[in-house]
Copies of this chain bind each other. A is one copy, B any other.
Amino acid sequence: MENTITVGLLGLGTVGSGVIEILNDHQERIQHKTGCAVTIKSVLVSDTSKPRELSETVNLTDRYEDITRDPEIDVIVEVMGGIDHTLTILLEAIENGKHVVTANKDLIAQHGAQLFEACQKNNCDLYYEASVAGGIPIIRSIMDGLSSDRITKMMGIVNGTTNYIMTKMAQEGVDFDSVLKEAQDLGFAEADPTADVDGLDAARKMTILSILGFSMPFNLEDVEVKGIRNISLEDIRYAEELGYRIKLIGIAENDESGVSVSVEPSLLPAQHPLSSVNDEFNAVYVYGDAVGETMFYGPGAGKLPTATAVVADLIAVLKNIRLGTTGTAYVQPQFPHQLKSKSERQSKKYIRLHVVDRAGMLNEITSIFAEYGISFDQVIQRSTNKDDERELMMVTHRVSEEDFEKAKHDLEQLSSVRSIDSIFRVEGGD
How far is the CB of A18 from the nearest CB of chain B, in Å?
A: 8
CB-CB under 8 A for A26 and B150, given A145-B137, A312-B144? yes
* CB < 8 Å neighbour of A297 from B22, B297, B319: B297
CB-CB under 8 A for A297 and B299, given A145-B137, A312-B145? no
CB-CB under 8 A for A292 and B299, given A32-B331, A308-B149? yes
Q: How far is the CA of A152 from the CA of B32 in the complex (A)?
A: 18
Q: Given the complex, which residues of B lie within 8 Å of A331, measured CB to CB?
A: 32-33
- Asked if B144 contacts A140 (CB within 8 A), the reply is yes
Q: Given the complex, which residues of B lie within 8 Å of A328, measured CB to CB?
A: 319, 323
* CB < 8 Å neighbour of A29 from B22, B150, B271, B292: B150
CB-CB under 8 A for A137 and B148, given A32-B215, A334-B32? no
- Asked if A147 contacts B291 (CB within 8 A), the reply is no
Q: Given the complex, which residues of B lie within 8 Å of A141, measured CB to CB?
A: 137, 140-141, 145, 296
The chain B residue with its CB closest to the CB of A299 is B292
Q: Given the complex, which residues of B lie within 8 Å of A325, measured CB to CB?
A: 323, 325
Q: How large is the interface on A (under 10, 10 to 19, 20 to 34, 35 or more residues)?
A: 35 or more
Q: How far is the CA of A323 from the CA of B297 in the complex (A)?
A: 32
Whether A8 sits at the interface, judged by CB under 8 Å, is no
- Asked if A30 contacts B312 (CB within 8 A), the reply is no
- Asked if A293 contacts B288 (CB within 8 A), the reply is no
Whether A146 sits at the interface, judged by CB under 8 Å, is yes
Q: How far is the CA of A141 from the CA of B315 in the complex (A)?
A: 14
How far is the CB of A143 from the nearest CB of chain B, in Å?
A: 9
A residues 32-48 in Cβ contact with B at 8 Å: 32-33
CB-CB under 8 A for A29 and B323, given A296-B296, A298-B293, A304-B291? no
Q: Given the complex, which residues of B lie within 8 Å of A296, measured CB to CB?
A: 141, 294-297
How far is the CB of A78 from the nearest CB of chain B, in Å?
A: 17
Whether A213 sits at the interface, judged by CB under 8 Å, is no
Q: Given the complex, which residues of B lie within 8 Å of A294, measured CB to CB?
A: 135-137, 296-299
Q: Given the complex, which residues of B lie within 8 Å of A273, measured CB to CB?
A: 276, 297
Q: Point out residues on A near B: beta carbons under 8 Å.
A: 18, 22, 25-26, 28-30, 32-33, 129, 135-137, 140-141, 144-150, 215, 271, 273, 276, 288-299, 302, 304-305, 307-312, 314-316, 319, 323, 325, 328, 331, 334
Closest 8 CB pairs of A and B: A137-B145, A148-B311, A294-B298, A290-B304, A295-B297, A135-B291, A291-B308, A32-B334
